Structure 1
């Protein structure tokens, strides 16, 4: 099953942070970061849209999966990109995500589970198929839990949790794969999730996206040396679901 969403015309990108060296946007779910030969039919990309919006070149310094929304940072020069990339390499940038998952998550768990690189049949045709698993670590904290008296499969109720995720490494689909390992698949994840619950959310909440949000990015600015924290809102659709699940419906609670 494909993660390719229905075509959407995205409006102006919401800018969360901007200075003379960097700019961060709130990337919508479904929007590709940059052009890819794997999605030749696509005409909209965050990088090109932001370039046109600002009237200058931008340089991506990290990426978000297409279905993930939230903080996406760009540099405004190749030099600024190089210096920010160094912070990512050194592991001094803190990333916070929120995920809506199936099941009751434990209060806190640190998962240290190496991941074998996920290779694409086309893009990674000539890559090393026998590469050893790479180190992967994620801290998970459960913020809220909810149970609904609706039977799905062999269980009389459905259980969900809102989980705070802090990846310490940056492997492909790390959060999604680590949560699947914990038997806490993210709602809307068609590759690593639970299709019965994905369908339930489509039918009962009219939700057709991956419920993974890049909510915060924190770092010490390479030039001003001041601590910077950039935050992205969850959006009305997610806050509405939180309210329906009996969780606080105010942005500040997340």
Structure 2
């Protein structure tokens, strides 16, 4: 466990001379961007400071998304891992709490490629509802809102792909302040105290560039997901 500034703790799932796999906490950006304060912490810097190594980013997780992420200690290893993502040789699995019960299926509608643009690209997201709870949450024309814990497998890696797909199909991810249901988010925060995006990178499997062995890493379901599902299911 790497304990870092501003109360971020970064569990290390695996580390060797070539790469490190960590469980990224919610609210921590992976790398520096122009929208952050100049002194804001970010994952690659913190892991680099604590390991004493240069860190090379391989793939992305939004700051608001927690979970498993792999980082490389050299540009060569980073390039090989990045190619695995591009060739769709990496198995990724997410979990989320969403509004409604989407059942099992595939979203394949195009999504925006970045913020403040109208350009879209094809995207594919597979999903399966694992469990659902009924609540007494009602507002506007909605009554007895259902919340579901959903397993998600993105086959492409577009900007906010999962969040866009679920919002466009009216299964908004709880806590999504960019694409989601703002009224529902506010109600759940008032009832449970949770104000995070309930989207978590639960597992990651790839081929180690050095050993050529497949390696899989998992992160447990965050307690806040359980807190929201259990808390809302008992609302009366």
Q: Give the TM-score of the pair, scaled to structure 1.
A: 0.84
Partner of 1:153: 140
1:61–1:81: 8 Å Cα contact kept in structure 2? Answer: yes
Partner of 2:14: 17
Output aligned runs, 1:90-169, within 5 Å.
Answer: 90-106=87-103, 108-120=104-116, 131=119, 133-169=120-156
Distance 1:17-1:242 versus aligned 2 partners, 3 A rule:
farther
Q: Which runs of 5+ in 1 are unaligned?
A: 1-7, 121-128, 247-254
Output aligned runs, 1:1-254, within 5 Å.
Answer: 9-106=6-103, 108-120=104-116, 131=119, 133-244=120-231
Partner of 1:126: none
1:101–1:161: 8 Å Cα contact kept in structure 2? Answer: yes
1:13–1:49: 8 Å Cα contact kept in structure 2? Answer: no
Per the alignment, in what secondary structure is the counterpart of residue 241 of structure 1? helix
Deviation at 1:23, TM superposition (A): 0.5
Any idea what the Cα deviations from partners look like across 1:192-243, whole Å, max 9, x if unmatched? 1001110011111100110000010111222212111111122222233344
CA distance in 2, matches of 1:78, 1:29: 26
Give the number of aligned pairs: 230
- Runs of 4+ deviating beyond 4 Å: none
Distance 1:189-1:94 versus aligned 2 partners, 3 A rule:
same
Distance 1:150-1:41 versus aligned 2 partners, 3 A rule:
same
2:163–2:172: 8 Å Cα contact kept in structure 1? Answer: yes
1:217–1:231: 8 Å Cα contact kept in structure 2? Answer: yes
Per the alignment, in what secondary structure is the counterpart of residue 96 of structure 1? strand
Per the alignment, in what secondary structure is the counterpart of residue 185 of structure 1? coil
CA distance in 2, matches of 1:148, 1:242: 9
CA RMSD of superposed structures (Å) = 1.9
Deviation at 1:135, TM superposition (A): 1.8
Q: Which runs of 5+ in 2 are unaligned?
A: none
Per the alignment, in what secondary structure is the counterpart of residue 36 of structure 1? coil
1:186–1:211: 8 Å Cα contact kept in structure 2? Answer: yes
Partner of 1:125: none
1:100–1:186: 8 Å Cα contact kept in structure 2? Answer: yes
Q: Give the TM-score of the pair, scaled to structure 2.
A: 0.91
